[in-house]
Chains A and B, each alone.
Chain A
């Protein structure tokens, strides 16, 4: 059988030729010369409507352009500008009619650089609730009420499988489950449901192999997927797992590396004894690779302070680590301040024979203080764990914060904006 031929009609208003792309599906077509809307369904080609507008709109994706979406090639055969007007707000969007002679009709919508690929659905959605408002469940997904509007066709180009009419309006409602949107359109009591998938300008440009770059997207569109959306749950999940891993590591540290006691002894100091308070300990062995050394001080201070100058000295090389610690402990009936104990961690101490040089100091007239010194090798540094846990919190917290901002911007454009009445993006009237 011979191929179905594309047909062409001539415009009874201006005599110009109107090439049809939609074969016998086309019921009405717009004359590209005089913009009359013509009835293409009968050989008589009646004029349905003459063009009374003042301005021409140039479609961003030209009529006749072909593009592949979801593996199917579609041709742009019709174009409408649909407008929503209310006393305090007016905006419009572009709607492209896409055609494939086997797969049928689809739509592409364009608003402020945001695009949607639309498929008319015949199955009915089920009523349900979401966000405390009526919602719809369709094919397992719940779509939350977003906004409703009356949209009028204000400009048409190309051809349509119905009798298109400038001025015709429909009551539309949008329900969202980004990146999808479920929309209902009611005309004359009949409701048509459609499902839209968000597309970026560059995806449209790629699909239709258009030159140049797509118009930039302004604001956040109703069903635009959040760049933080998919990752918010996973960001916190990752955070949880990292914390579990960190806790495991901490546990491992505590179990395998409690720190070996290299040296410990008891001492006493009184500032009343008028000789040099400084002394050195016997030598002790620090083994293994370069690692930390913890010196802990336990005192019996009571409403007093003591100050200790230390030097950890390598007996063989003379390498010296100098450090000091104050220990102070005060208490009364209201509570206490400070601690009788203190400690210091010296990082990266090579192995070898070491001794400590200790020089205690106290205020004049202080009583006698007893204290223990203990040197441990290889102690886990718990501060690292705390800091790591804190740092791990940054990415999910940041993601959550950014997502919150994105969602707020999305819902500001809806009928359910939390504050203010300046609903729609003011950039909407630039068409």
Chain B
């Protein structure tokens, strides 16, 4: 991991004693780079709550420390959640903007979406009632349900804005608009969480500090 624009306090891993540096001061959870313990911040110290199994091989060009900018707002990647479903896996990269706010950059087979936690006007549909083709008006736009994905959590890495580990089967509902907006309802929490954002092209993200691929320069 290299230098980033966001700095935060550091501590030591309660499991192995290695230094744990926070890139984002508001992080609730992180992982130890050395012993792969999942660490949750309490008021006083770090508490080990679990351990990350070996991360599945993935070919996202993004890594923790990747920097980018979207619409003149720069960000740095500080953590991720890895999901898997029957047609592959995807990464939800946790990104922190230079104003201290945080969001998500999804990379699903190199299709990129940026999103932010959103508060829906009205309540979200219960998981057993949501269907493809349903439409919801949010922020003056019509979001249509395009896919329901049953996924499972495969691992976490780095800093997250909440405690997130040891999850099992999960339902994600993706929504799209006619103007390139993106929404996802995460049914892992009750009530479910809504994230709204946009589909983005790789070039729109102006990413730096990416992974290299053998045979590609």
- Which residues of A are interface residues toward B (Cβ below 8 A)? 1-7, 22-25, 27, 41, 73, 100-105, 120, 122-126, 137, 161-163, 189-191
Contacts and interface: CB of A to CB of B under 8 A. Distances in A.
Give the residue among B57, B113, B177 with the most A Cβ atoms within 10 A. B57
A125 B111 CA distance: 18
Contact of B58 (A24, A104, A123, A189): A24
A6 to B, nearest CB: 5
Does more than half of chain B's interface fall in helix, strand or loop, or is it mixed? Answer: loop
A120 B202 contact: no
A226 B177 CA distance: 32
Contacts of B63: 1
B176 A25 contact: no
Given A3-B214, A4-B211, A122 B88 contact: no
Interface residues of B, number: 34
Interface in B84-130: 87-88, 109-111, 113
Interface in B34-83: 56-59, 61, 63
B63 to A, nearest CB: 6
Given A1-B211, A27-B87, A162-B88, A105 B109 contact: yes
Given A103-B202, A122-B182, A24 B59 contact: yes
B26 interface: no
Nearest to A25: B59
Contacts of A122: 111, 113, 176, 180, 182, 199
B178 A22 contact: no
Contacts of A189: 132
A162 B202 CA distance: 21
A25 B201 CA distance: 18
A27 B176 contact: no
8 contacts: A4-B213, A6-B215, A27-B88, A73-B216, A100-B216, A102-B210, A122-B176, A190-B146
Contact of B111 (A102, A104, A191): A104
Interface in B168-217: 176-182, 199, 201-203, 210-216
A114 to B, nearest CB: 26
B111 A25 contact: no
Contacts of A23: 59, 213
Contacts of A100: 110, 216
A163 B88 CA distance: 9
Does more than half of chain A's interface fall in helix, strand or loop, or is it mixed? Answer: loop
Interface of B: 56-59, 61, 63, 87-88, 109-111, 113, 132, 144, 146-147, 176-182, 199, 201-203, 210-216
Give the residue among B147, B179, B199, B215 with the most A Cβ atoms within 10 A. B215
B210 to A, nearest CB: 7
A184 B182 CA distance: 19
A3 B211 contact: yes
A25 B60 CA distance: 9
A4 B109 contact: no
A420 to B, nearest CB: 37
A123 B214 contact: no
Contacts of B215: 6
> Which 3 A-B residue pairs are closest in the complex by CB-CB distance?
A104-B110, A23-B59, A3-B212
Given A24-B57, A25-B59, 9 more contacts: A6-B214, A25-B88, A25-B110, A101-B59, A104-B109, A105-B110, A123-B180, A125-B178, A161-B88
B202 A104 contact: yes
B132 A162 contact: no
A163 B87 contact: yes
Nearest to A42: B56
B147 to A, nearest CB: 6
A101 to B, nearest CB: 4
A291 B132 CA distance: 82
B213 A3 contact: yes
Given A122-B180, A123-B179, A124-B146, A25 B109 contact: yes
Contacts of B214: 3-6
Contacts of A137: 178
Nearest to B88: A27
Give the residue among A103, A105, A122, A162 with the most B Cβ atoms within 10 A. A122
A125 B146 CA distance: 12
Contacts of A4: 59, 211-214
B213 A41 contact: no
B109 A161 contact: yes
A41 B84 CA distance: 11
Nearest to A43: B57
A6 B57 CA distance: 11
B87 A126 contact: no
A76 to B, nearest CB: 14
Contacts of B180: 122-123
A207 B181 CA distance: 32
B67 to A, nearest CB: 14
Nearest to B63: A1
Nearest to A126: B178
B158 to A, nearest CB: 14
Contacts of B202: 102-104
A161 B56 CA distance: 15
Contact of B61 (A22, A102, A162): A102
A137 B178 CA distance: 9
A124 B176 contact: yes
B61 to A, nearest CB: 5
Contacts of B178: 123-126, 137
